């Protein structure tokens, strides 16, 4: 995917129970809240079509310093009632701030390919060269594709009240993210050129995790700034929403 900055916070996770309830919370309250924090530029939520975890969320930010900014930490240490209730249902959270080390193409397609991996010991330079010089430019220019980026872990987010409710997160690995408008093209990449065995041949350790995702929701900081946030809601007072009062 083509990012609007050189830094992003990337999250992968599952939700216990009603996924629709999570989507309501994330759209009605959470995404606007995050994109109102200085330094947050754009957020996108993706739903797995294949692979796991179910959710992929990408927050593009101005720099890694956002992770320790007062505005960011104050928000995460004072979660709303709805956020606090939702945090108890997060499972298998993988989360971290990453820097973009290679990118090609432009735009955001409605389908995404995610490949999570870690370089084998002593193989980082070889793996980075293969991905940055060969893979990223090649796949971004293919029919059906829009863009591709390689992200490297840069910083582990500090512990906050939100994270303490859901439990400690798993640290982020390296990530290859590519998007396009043709789902079949991304599927073919997963099955052929970007299979786990290919990554391992070029210097990745075992345990490569792949998944294809569809874009579910996106919001930019500019859009958030043009509208007031929705009124706060208690978890049991979501009129017209699944699980709420009618």
Residue 85, in any domain of the structure: yes
Whether residue 95 is contained in a domain is answered as yes
Predicted pLDDT of residue 2? 78
Nearest CA to 55 out of 32, 84, 30, 82 is that of: 30
Give mean pLDDT in consecutive 10-residue pieces for the chain, a chain of 246 residues.
91 95 95 98 97 97 96 97 95 97 96 97 96 95 95 93 96 97 92 90 96 97 96 68 45
Q: Which of 31, 28, 90 is nearest to 242 (CA)?
A: 28
13-32 residue pLDDT tens: 999 998 999 999 999 999 99
User: Which CATH number does the domain housing residue 62 bear?
Assistant: 3.30.70.100
Residues spanned by the domain of 84: 7-225
Kindly state whether residue 231 falls inside one of the protein's structural domains.
no
Residue 32: inside a domain, yes or no? yes
Q: Count how many domains the chain has.
A: 1
Q: Give the CA distances from residue 169 to residues 11, 94, 224, in Å, rounded to whole numbers and listed in that order.
A: 10, 6, 27
In a domain, 66, yes or no: yes
Determine, yes or no, domain membership for 236. Answer: no
Q: Is residue 244 part of a domain?
A: no
Mean pLDDT (the chain, rounded)? 93
Report helix, strand or coil for 143. Answer: coil
Give yes or no for a cis peptide into 207 (omega within 30° of 0).
Answer: no
Residue 68 lies in a domain: yes
């Amino acid at each position: 995917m083509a990012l609007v900055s050189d830094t992003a916070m990337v999250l992968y996770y599952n939700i216990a129970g009603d996924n629709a309830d999570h989507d309501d919370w994330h759209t009605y309250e959470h995404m606007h809240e995050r994109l109102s924090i200085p330094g947050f530029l754009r957020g996108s939520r993706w739903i797995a079509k294949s692979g796991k975890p179910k959710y992929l969320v990408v927050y593009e930010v101005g720099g890694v310093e956002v992770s320790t900014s007062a505005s960011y930490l104050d928000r995460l240490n004072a979660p709303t009632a709805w956020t606090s209730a939702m945090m108890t249902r997060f499972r298998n959270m993988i989360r971290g701030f990453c820097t973009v080390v290679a990118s090609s193409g432009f735009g955001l397609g409605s389908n995404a390919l995610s490949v999570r991996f870690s370089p084998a010991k002593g193989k980082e330079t070889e793996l980075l060269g293969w991905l940055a010089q060969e893979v990223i430019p090649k796949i971004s220019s293919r029919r059906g594709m829009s863009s591709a980026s390689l992200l490297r872990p840069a910083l582990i987010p500090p512990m906050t009240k939100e994270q303490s409710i859901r439990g400690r997160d798993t640290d982020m690995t390296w990530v290859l993210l590519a998007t396009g408008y043709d789902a079949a093209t991304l599927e073919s990449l997963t099955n052929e050129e970007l299979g786990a065995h290919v990554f391992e041949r070029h210097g990745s350790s075992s345990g490569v995790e792949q998944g294809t995702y569809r874009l579910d929701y996106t919001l930019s900081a500019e859009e958030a700034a043009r509208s007031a946030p929705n009124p706060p809601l208690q978890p049991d007072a979501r009129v017209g929403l699944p699980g709420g009062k009618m």
